[in-house]
Amino acid sequence: MERKRISTTELRKQNRNQVFRIIYDAEGPLTKQEIAKRLHMSLPTVTQNLKELFDENILTDAGA
């Protein structure tokens, strides 16, 4: 069975959507490490996606 290849841009978009979704659906706060573990992503990938979501005001900091 042949796997469909996706572009780097599409992969980044999918990763960002997954990070947003896990936060949106969470019942409480999550650490970057928890997000990375649940999504099987590297910590730098999660950090970069969170930065983009904050920079675009899609996410805001709710405090500690």
pLDDT band at 62; cut points 50, 70, 90: confident
Q: What does the pLDDT look like over 11-20, one tens digit per residue?
A: 999 999 999 9
Q: Which residues make Cβ contacts (< 8 Å) with residue 53, sequence separation at least 6?
A: 16, 19, 20, 59
pLDDT value of position 64: 60
Q: In the chain, where are the structural domains located?
A: 8-55
Angle subtended at Cα 46 by Cα 27 and Cα 24, rounded to the nearest 5 degrees? 25
